[in-house]
Amino acid sequence: MTLKLNDVQDRELTITHGDLELLRYVYRPDNDQFESPRPYFEPIRDLAGHQVSLYRPHDHVWHKGIALSLPNAGPENFWGGRTYRRGKGYVHENNDGSMEHRAFTRCEAGEDGVRVAEDLEWVTEDGRHFFTEKRAFAVAVLSDDTWVLSFSTSFTNDTDDVVVMGSPTTEGRENAGYGGFFWRGPRSFTEGRVYTSAGEGGDELMGVRGDWMAFRGKHDSNDAVSTLVFTDHPENPGAPVKWFVRSTPFAAVCPAPFFDTELPMRPGQTVTLRHAVAVCNGDIGVEGAAKAAEAASTELNELEQK
């Protein structure tokens, strides 16, 4: 079945499979500056129609489905909220920048899925041009119970200064290395199970390295289960990546390239990050997650080639 792609009110793209909306890509968000306005994928649903994402939770209003989110970009914050600084903790620095849509250079739907390419500008809270970004993503349905979102971004330091990419952990907070392709799961996914190539677990898997990580969560009201399988790319910085993951007090997964290692970006330097996520009906287990990760990685490679 061919996916349909629609642009709604020059604000968001919707991608549907038959009568089911799989996801929206909100490219012109209307969030407050404190939330670091940036494009996001939300809502996201599995092929059974169950939502597997959460928008603007009260505990972290800057969490929005899946979004590229970077809390420590030199002096700037493209995550939202307060910034963690060594010796100070979380402080409000009026530095919550925005990732602003400039143009779509590709926006297509066909039998092989949806493909989108986009130009963006990163702007500081005080209005200065900071980075340029080229972004691409694709959506493909692989079977009756699995579809894949592939995502690639290349961002360039347009300042005259070295910009050090890091995280709260590189600033001194233990096991808080978040930043990157960040997913926030539904409330009902709290205390879900985490799968890796080494087996399954929970919060103790924070900071493990690997090519992929999966999260299995349960839905309220209907006893349904979904599994999301996230992949890293072997050419991403720091690969195999360290994973930021939580099952309590909420569900979250993020392949975090700057978890505990800073990356100084020289003026003019470009950093590329590539990830994919397979959204699967049901509990597919460790073995099924490994197979889904392989399929998602194949889709990600195809995004690069087309």
pLDDT of the chain, 306 residues: tens digit per residue: 789 999 999 999 999 999 999 999 999 999 999 999 999 999 999 999 999 999 999 999 999 999 999 999 999 999 999 999 999 999 999 999 999 999 999 999 998 899 999 999 999 999 999 999 999 999 999 999 999 999 999 999 999 999 999 999 999 999 999 999 999 999 999 999 999 999 999 999 999 999 999 999 999 999 999 999 999 999 999 999 999 999 999 999 999 999 999 999 999 999 999 999 999 999 999 999 999 999 999 999 999 776
Residue 20's SS3 state is strand
d(CA 98, CA 282): 36
Respond yes or no on whether the N-terminal peptide bond of residue 249 is cis (omega within 30° of 0): yes
For residue 45, give both structure tokens: 């649903």
d(CA 43, CA 149): 13
In contact, 194 and 247? CB cutoff 8 Å: yes
Which pLDDT belongs to residue 111? 85
d(CA 46, CA 58): 24
What class has domain 3-305? mainly beta
Which pLDDT belongs to residue 305? 73
Residue 203's SS3 state is helix
Cα–Cα nearest to 237, from 276, 191, 273, 287: 273
- Name the DSSP letter for residue 14: E
Which pLDDT belongs to residue 266? 98
Which pLDDT belongs to residue 120? 98
In contact, 180 and 192? CB cutoff 8 Å: no
Which pLDDT belongs to residue 199? 96
Which pLDDT belongs to residue 306? 64
